[in-house]
Structures are given as C-alpha cells and as structure tokens.
C-alpha cells in the first residue's frame, strides 16, 4: 500500500457537497482506503482568476493504485462531478490534486509529484498539516511554508462540516411539517422526510449538473432540401422556482440540420429531461432546450414550443384549473423565415 496525500477544492454550487461526494467516490474504490480527512476550509481564490471563494480539504489515503492509475480514477471522479475545464485555475465543481505519493518524485507530462504548487498554497498546506502522518519527510517544509504564507492575503478559515444534502432536506421537511401544525412523529409522517429527500434527488437530478453531455451526433447524406426534424409531444415534469410546485406538459422540438449533422433522436427527450429536472420557469425551459440544441448542433434553425399546466396557478392563488401555458422559442431560419415558422407551427396541430 502507498500513502498518498490529496488536496480537494470546489467553488461552484454546493461546494462542500461536491467535496463530500468526491470523498465517498474515492472510498468506493476497493483499492483505496481513506485514512484521514481534514476539516473543511473556506479559502480566498489563489492564482489571479476573479472567482468565488473555494472550499478546500485534504485527505490521507492508502492505495494499491499506481500513480497514473490513481490519476485516471481521479479524473473519472471529476468528470462524474461535472468538472468542466474552461479557464486554467478557474472555477470548478471539483478539483482533486495528488500532493505526495509516498516519497516518490514523479515527472510525467500530466503528473508532477510532489505537486508543483504544494508549498505556495495555504489552502493546501493548512488542511494537509492536519492529516500528515508523524515524521512525514516533508513535515518541516510544510510547517515552514505555512509560517511564510501566514501573512499573505491567502485566507484560510475553518468552517463547520455541513450535513450531506439528503440529511439537510430531511431536517428541513421535519421543520416544515411542524411549522404547518403537523406532528412529524405520527405514524403516516415518520418516513416522509426521507421520502421527500429521495424524491428531490430524483426530480431535481439536473440541479447540480453544469452541462448537458448525454448526446451522440451523426452525419447523414446532405439532403436535397433542408428537411425539418421534429420530435413532437415530449412529456416533461418540472418544479417552478417561485413556489416549488410541479408544472408539466409537452415539449415540441424541431431543427433544420446543417451539413448533414443530426443528433440521436432519443437525445432530444434526454435534453428536455436535463433542462426540466431543476427548479425553473417554463420560459427558461423553452429557451434552454433551444439554445443548448443550437450550441451542440449549430443547425440552420431551432424551434421549441412548450405547453404545460402549472400547479401554482391551479392549486393556489387564482386557482384556474386546467389552464394551459404555451411558450415558444425560435432560432435561425425559424426566427428569420415566417413561412418556415408557420409551417412548423401548423405541423403541431
Ligand atoms: N483558494 C483556492 N484557490 C485556488 C484553488 C483552490 O482549490 N482553492 N485551486 C486552483 C487550481 O485551479 C487547482 O488547484 C488546480 O491547479 P493545478 O493543479 O496547479 O493545475 P491544473 O492543471 O489542475 O489547473 P487547471 O485549472 O485544471 O488547468 C486555483 N486557486
């Protein structure tokens, strides 16, 4: 077994939840033992990129994985937690760096160990010192580097560990139940907090995702005329961000391919699910389906029409039962060419 020290950081979304998810995914690998976890620290961003504060932590692990296999597994976890590399040292849902791999010196193109910045970053050093084993060869160097960086503007503040998201939702549901005059301990409600927490994970499954990736593109013979590809009546369910009540209905999505580029037909309903499985409003769902499809395919045109019933209109307030809300969003030829747009709208009847 090799003793390895990792630094973890996140500054997008539910930062601690991303760190907790990363630790649990690391621990699920039978070749990895999590020996010690540091506390969580709120830290000011280092590296000159204007961005949100990070939450950082460090881990001491024992592993049979060789360095490159460990790095490969780390990259898989980062991908699973929707890490998107846009700006060097920029914002990220999760970043996991190998700081030390035993006493080994590693110089490979995508892996330098000890990590090249380890002694320049207080957000790494403070959590690392917490998990360092006694007589670790670099222990003195870590302590000296902390002393040296203490008076810089690098802020590292310990913060309390938040409960995992599901536990926080269960607690909140119990609070709501008692606040509306219910007894959360009564027979019918005992498991309700847990059921609601599980339900939110399912119906808000896109909430933490940062980009739609479930698609496959194909190339077809460039057709003689620019045919419109329409997927009609795609059922969807979402939750309105104003009252956290369901709204649901059907989405109609059309596009005109350019240069024979098409998307797998099943991927459009998946895109509708990706866009709708988060707190939103119907206008944003309609626009997001169109804009994401347009970004992926760069077609000649995209058209989306969504029709839905809103429980926030039917169950409360104006209480207008069975009313349908229709929203549309057109891009490219569907926006510029009235005839193309009308032809699409007629095809929905
Ligand atoms: N307060 C913090 N500031 C910064 C953090 C952090 O976690 N807390 N992280 C970074 C870096 O983006 C991150 O540490 C990765 O840096 P590094 O391993 O040195 O280089 P990469 O090749 O992984 O950088 P990419 O961004 O992935 O290209 C900056 N500040």
312 catalytically annotated: yes
pLDDT per position as a tens digit, 62-102: 999 999 999 999 999 999 888 877 788 889 999 999 999 99
pLDDT per position as a tens digit, 199-244: 999 999 998 887 888 888 988 876 655 689 999 999 999 999 999 9
Alpha carbon distance, N-terminus to C-terminus of the chain: 66
CA gap 89, 65 in Å, rounded: 27
Residue that wins the pLDDT comparison between 292 and 319: 292
Q: Which two tokens stand for residue 286?
A: 């309609």
Select from 240, 163, 165, 172 the least CA-distant residue to 201: 165
CA gap 19, 265 in Å, rounded: 35
Q: Report the pLDDT averaged over residues 7-11.
A: 97
Which of 108, 241, 283, 336 is labelled catalytic?
Answer: 241
pLDDT per position as a tens digit, 167-176: 889 999 999 9
Q: Report the pLDDT averaged over residues 157-166.
A: 90
Q: Known binding site for Zn(2+): residues? A: 240, 243, 312
Residue 81: how many CB atoms within 10 A of its CB? 24
Side-chain-facing half-sphere of 306: CA atoms under 13 Å = 27
- What pLDDT, on a 0 to 100 scale, did the predictor assign at position 223? 61
- What pLDDT, on a 0 to 100 scale, did the predictor assign at position 90? 87
Radius of gyration of the chain (CA): 25
Q: Are 57 and 65 in contact (CB under 8 A)?
A: no
Rounded to the nearest angstrom, the distance between the alpha carbon of 113 and the centre of ligand 1 is 15
- What pLDDT, on a 0 to 100 scale, did the predictor assign at position 225? 59
Beta strands in the chain (DSSP E): 2-10, 32-37, 40-43, 54-63, 95-101, 106-108, 111-113, 156-159, 217-219, 229-240, 246-256, 261-263, 279-280, 301-310, 325-332
Q: Say if residue 179's pLDDT is above 80.
A: yes
Q: What percent of the chain has pLDDT over 70?
A: 99
Cα–Cα distances (Å) from 168 to 172, 199, 241, in that order, read 6, 14, 19
Rounded to the nearest angstrom, the distance between the alpha carbon of 117 and the centre of ligand 1 is 9
51 catalytically annotated: no
Ligand 1 pocket, residues with Cβ under 6 angstroms? 9, 43-47, 54, 56, 85, 88-89, 95, 97, 117, 123
Alpha helices in 150-281 (DSSP H): 165-179, 192-203, 267-276
Angle among Cα 319, 325, 327 to the nearest 5 degrees reads 155
Q: Report the pLDDT averaged over residues 163-191.
A: 91
- What pLDDT, on a 0 to 100 scale, did the predictor assign at position 78? 94
């Amino acid at each position: 077994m090799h003793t390895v020290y990792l630094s973890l950081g996140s500054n997008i979304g539910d930062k601690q939840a991303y760190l907790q998810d990363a630790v649990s995914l690391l621990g699920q690998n039978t070749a990895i033992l999590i020996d010690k976890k540091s506390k969580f620290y709120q830290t000011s961003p280092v590296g000159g990129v204007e961005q949100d504060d990070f939450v950082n932590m460090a881990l001491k692990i024992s592993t049979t994985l060789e360095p490159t296999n460990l790095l490969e597994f780390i990259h898989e976890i980062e991908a699973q937690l929707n890490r998107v590399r846009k700006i060097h040292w920029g914002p990220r849902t999760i970043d996991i760096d190998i700081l030390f791999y035993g006493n080994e010196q590693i110089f490979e193109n995508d892996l330098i160990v000890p990590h090249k910045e380890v002694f320049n970053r207080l957000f790494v050093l403070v959590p690392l010192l917490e998990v360092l084993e006694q007589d670790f060869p670099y222990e003195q160097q870590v302590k000296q580097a902390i002393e040296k960086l203490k008076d810089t503007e690098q802020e590292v503040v310990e913060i309390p560990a938040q409960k995992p998201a599901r536990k926080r939702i269960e607690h909140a549901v119990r609070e709501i139940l008692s606040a509306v005059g219910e007894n959360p301990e009564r027979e019918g409600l005992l498991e309700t907090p847990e059921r609601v927490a599980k339900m939110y994970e399912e119906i808000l499954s896109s909430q933490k995702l940062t980009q739609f990736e479930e698609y496959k593109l194909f190339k077809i013979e460039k057709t003689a005329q620019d045919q419109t590809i329409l997927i009609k009546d795609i059922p969807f369910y979402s939750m309105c961000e104003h009252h956290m009540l369901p709204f649901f209905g059907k989405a109609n999505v059309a596009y005109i391919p350019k240069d024979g580029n098409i998307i797998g037909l099943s991927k459009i309903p998946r895109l509708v699910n990706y866009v709708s499985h988060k707190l939103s409003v119907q206008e944003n769902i309609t626009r997001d389906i169109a804009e994401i499809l347009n970004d992926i395919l760069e077609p000649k045109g995209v058209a989306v029409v969504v029709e839905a019933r809103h429980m926030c209109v039917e169950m409360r307030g104006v209480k207008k039962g069975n009313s349908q809300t229709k929203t549309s969003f057109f891009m490219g030829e569907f926006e510029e060419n009235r005839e193309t747009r009308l032809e699409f709208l007629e095809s929905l009847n």
